[in-house]
Amino acid sequence: MRAILDVILIVLQLYVWVLIAAAVLSWLVAFNVVNPHNQFVRTIGEVIYRMTEPVLAPIRRILPSLGGLDLSPMVLILIIFFIERVIGLYIYPYVF
């Protein structure tokens, strides 16, 4: 059982890094640092979008509109940190 919890914690940490990569890539595209018409950048962006959008879309519907500021990745990262804390403090110590 501990191995399953360890895998869950690792997957959650990897997903946080994917969310950070999505935010950084969106900033780089917005400020014209990278060319979104480049095939490599487009492929990376599409992969990251497909990994994050199913989870971020419901959060975006709940959050109020703040103009051009998207806080849904930050909210999701806080939710993931909360889940990790619950697993680490309340579930993991009691698994034999």
Report the predicted TM-score, pTM, of the whole model to 2 decimal places: 0.90
Residue 81 in this model has a pLDDT that exceeds 90: yes
Residue 59 or 96, more confident? 59
pLDDT band at 80 (very low <50, low <70, confident <90, very high): very high
86 in Cβ contact with 15 (< 8 Å): no
pLDDT in the model for residue 9: 96
**Distance of alpha carbon 95 from alpha carbon 92, whole angstroms:** 6
**Letter for the amino acid at 5?**
L
What is the secondary structure of 33-47 as a DSSP string?
Answer: SS-TTSHHHHHHHHH
CB atoms within 10 A of CB 57: 10
Is residue 12 pLDDT above 80, yes or no?
A: yes
Task: Decide: residue 44, CB within 10 A, 0-12 exposed, 13-18 middle, 19+ buried.
Answer: middle
pLDDT digits (tens, 9 = 90+) for 33-48: 999 999 999 999 999 9
Q: Is the pLDDT of residue 96 over 80?
A: no
Average pLDDT over every residue of 45-65: 95
What residue has token string 């940490």? Answer: 13
